Structure 1
Amino acid sequence: MIINLASVFVDDQRAALRFYTEVLGFVVKHDIPMGEFSWLTVVSPERPDGTELVLEPSNHPAVGPFRAALVEDGIPFTSFAVDDVHKEYERLRGLGVVFTQEPTEMGPVTVATFDDTCGNLIQIAHQSA
C-alpha cells in the first residue's frame, strides 16, 4: 500500500494553482474541469509519478471551522520535505511568502511554517540523517 493522494483545502483553486506552481515550484499533474470546480493535482517535479497533492475546494461547511482552529493554534495542515530548510525559507521569503515560524531545530528535524495564501499553514521540514 502506498499513499497516492494527499489534499489541502483551498479557497480558490486558480489562485492556489498559481501559488503552488509559480511560488512553491510544483507542477500540474491533473486539471480536469468538473462543473464549478476541477480535479486539480500537483506533484513535485522531482517525482512526477509520486504522491499527488489535490488542491481541494474548501466549500464543505466543516472546512472553515477546522482550518480556522488549526491556523489559530499555529498547526500546519501538512508538511513538505526539503533538502535545506534555511535555504528554502530564504528563497520563499524572497518571493513574498509569509512565515509564521522561522527555521527551528527540533532535535534531528529542522522545520519552518508558512501561510500558503489559500487558508492553510504549511510546514517545510528536513530530517538529518
Structure 2
Amino acid sequence: MTCKKNMVIIRSFKQRPVCSECQMRSLSGPVSDKKFKKLFDIDPKFYETSAFLRDIRYQYSLYQNLTEKQIAAFKRVVDEFKNPKKKQINAIVPKAPTKEEQAEHKQKRAKGLFQSERSTLRALRTK
C-alpha cells in the first residue's frame, strides 16, 4: 500500500510511503471486538495528526489483537491529546539574573576575580 496522490516525508527506509488520507481509508474497517471498539472510538483528528495512533490501529487490523504495552501506550497518547500540558518555559529559557546578582557580578569584574580565575586555569593546563 503506497500513496500515489500525495508526497510523504519518510525518515527511515523502514517506513511505508503512505499519506494519512490513504491510511485513514484503510483503517475505517469495522472492529469486531467490543474492547477494541471502545478503545478505537476516538476523534478522527487524533488519527490524522498522529502517525503513532494510525500505526497502532493498523497493527490491530493486521493481527486482530494488541499487546498490553500497545494498549497502554495508545491510551496514554490519547489522554495527552485530550488534555495537552503547557510547556514549561522556565526549563527552556534561562531566567534573567536579578539586580543583586548583576551588582555582584560587576563587583567581581571590577576586582578582576574573573581574570585571576582564568590565569589559574591556564596555569593548571600547562602543568
Q: Which has the larger radius of gyration?
A: 2
Higher relative contact order (CA 8 A, sep 6+): 1
Query: Which has more helix, going by share of residues?
Result: 2
Structure 2 length-normalised TM: 0.21
Structure 1 length-normalised TM: 0.21
